[in-house]
């Protein structure tokens, strides 16, 4: 079997319920150092861990406990219901429900888990980028919106070598089909697109534009644009904060 044929069995292998011939084929691929399968199994284990964290704890019935102990040749009177066995059973029950008994829902749940894992990885990458700017040796900060009656307000952190970090509050969610776009505006020049972002439900917003900042940059502004972005602003800026003095 090739890697593409084994792809749908990675999660089953990761939780130990894959059946032959797929189980043996995956082992063969792993033993020969197949990068595709090794990466797939690694991602599958991450997904299983993520899904396992969402499973509500449950107490197995005494009948089910006896059946499991009997299946491995252990009489119940010889071993109590040890915590580790309860945990293993809970994970096994979860695996059976999600990966064996409900195939249609399994595919949806795995897709949701992959999407959630991808989203978390993206958020983690954004936070790492933000911390890089915050901790930059040449980072300076300016505020906007303070003392004004109209929101939004917040701070802009500028590192000439690392980029620009925008942290804003009181930003209404963008209408359908719209998004916020940040601009870096050089003195006497045209605004340069610096990325799209959305605000959170609580009105907070964060956007990172990595890379060296043009020393001629004069302002950082934000406008509401079509979700696909614009080459030049098509609406009045929600705010514009001066940053030229921060780059000297």
Encode pLDDT of 166-182 as tens digits: 999 888 899 999 999 99
Encode pLDDT of 200-222 as tens digits: 888 888 899 989 998 889 999 99
Global pTM exceeds 0.75: no
Encode pLDDT of 178-188 as tens digits: 999 999 999 88
Q: At a CB cut-off of 8 Å and minimum separation 6, what does 215 contact?
A: 160, 247
**Mean of pLDDT values over 39-60:** 61
Q: Domain ranges for the chain, please list them.
A: 3-127, 139-247
Work out the number of other CB atoms within 10 angstroms of the CB of residue 207: 23
Confidence of residue 35 (pLDDT cuts 50, 70, 90): confident
139-247: what fold? Immunoglobulin-like (2.60.40)
């Amino acid at each position: 079997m090739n890697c593409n044929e084994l792809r749908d069995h990675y999660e089953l292998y990761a939780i130990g319920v894959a059946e032959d011939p797929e189980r043996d084929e995956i082992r063969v691929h792993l033993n020969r150092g197949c990068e595709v399968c090794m990466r797939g199994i690694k991602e599958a284990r991450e997904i299983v861990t993520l899904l396992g964290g969402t499973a509500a704890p449950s107490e197995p019935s005494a009948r089910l406990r006896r059946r499991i102990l009997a299946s491995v040749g252990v009489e119940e009177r010889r071993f109590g219901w040890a915590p580790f066995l309860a945990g293993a059973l809970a994970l096994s029950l979860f695996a059976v429900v999600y990966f064996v008994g409900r195939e249609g829902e399994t595919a949806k749940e795995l897709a949701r888990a992959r999407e959630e894992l991808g989203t978390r990885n993206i958020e983690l990458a954004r936070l790492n980028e933000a911390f890089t700017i915050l901790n930059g040796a040449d980072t300076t900060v300016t505020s906007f919106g303070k003392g004004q009656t109209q929101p939004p307000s917040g701070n802009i952190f500028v590192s000439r070598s690392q980029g620009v970090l925008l942290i804003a509050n009181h930003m209404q969610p963008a209408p359908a089909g719209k998004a916020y776009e940040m601009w870096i505006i050089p003195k006497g020049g045209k605004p340069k697109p610096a990325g799209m972002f959305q605000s959170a439900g609580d009105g907070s917003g964060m956007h990172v534009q990595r890379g060296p900042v043009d020393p001629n940059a004069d302002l950082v502004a934000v406008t509401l644009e079509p979700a696909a972005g614009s080459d030049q602003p098509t609406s009045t800026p929600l705010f514009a904060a001066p940053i030229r003095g921060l780059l000297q």
